[in-house]
Structure 1
Amino acid sequence: MSATEFTVDDLKRILREGAGADEGVDLDGDILDTDFDSLGYESLALLETGSRIERELGVTLDDDALVDARTPRALIEVVNGALVPSGIA
């Protein structure tokens, strides 16, 4: 995984490792704008996913931002925002 950008492939891997994948959901499809609920991931699974991301990347993610990120695209944006080095605008 790139230390400067968190990608949808990174997220898919972490989702599968942490919470598994619902048999009826194809994570390999275009999921960027699909609600996590529709993908079979409830808030507890997302908090676990956030914890795994924090450990792997050495960042701190706001729990409210994790809960508010309703789609993979939104979560990726939250993570990439945390990866921006401090002091750079």
Structure 2
Amino acid sequence: MSKHVFNIDDLKGILHEGAGEPEGPGVETATIDLEFEELGYDSLAVLETCTRIEREFGVALDEEVLAQARTPRALVDVVNKHLSVTHLA
């Protein structure tokens, strides 16, 4: 059963599982509008995170949309939009 809401805590957990500790400050409430690179996550870490989100939450994330979701807040918003569409279908 897939979840219908994705939040910052979900993102933090998945990032930690897939990428380990960041080279920067990581995802916190105060840093959710900084780009992943600024937070210490490289593109491979973000790609692994997106793969895990797709698997755990049962959504398919388009590469073009993900390329635009460069901050934690933007990624959470994208996932939740996909979850709401999936839930309505």
TM-score w.r.t. the length of structure 1 is: 0.84
Q: Tell me, what secondary structure is at the counterpart of 2:27?
A: coil
Deviation for aligned residue 1:29: 4.8
Are the equivalent residues in 2 in contact too, given 1:46–1:66 (CA < 8 A)? no
Distance 1:12 1:32 in 2: 10
- Matched residues, percent identical? 53
* Residues 1:70 and 1:24: Cα distance change in structure 2 (over 3 Å): closer
Aligned runs of 1:1-89 on 2, under 5 Å? 3-86=3-86, 88=88
Deviation for aligned residue 1:23: 5.0
Distance 1:10 1:87 in 2: 18
Unpaired runs of 5+ residues, structure 1, are: none
Instruction: Tell me how large the CA RMSD over aligned residues is.
Output: 2.0
Deviation for aligned residue 1:58: 0.9
Are the equivalent residues in 1 in contact too, given 2:6–2:76 (CA < 8 A)? yes
Distance 1:87 1:39 in 2: 31
* CA shift digits 1:31-88 (9 cap, x unpaired): 2101101111122211110000000011100112112111000000110011014585
TM-score w.r.t. the length of structure 2 is: 0.84
Give the total of aligned pairs.
Answer: 87
Deviation for aligned residue 1:28: 3.9
User: What amino acid maps onto 2:75 in structure 1?
Assistant: L
Instruction: Point out the structure with the larger helix share.
Output: 2
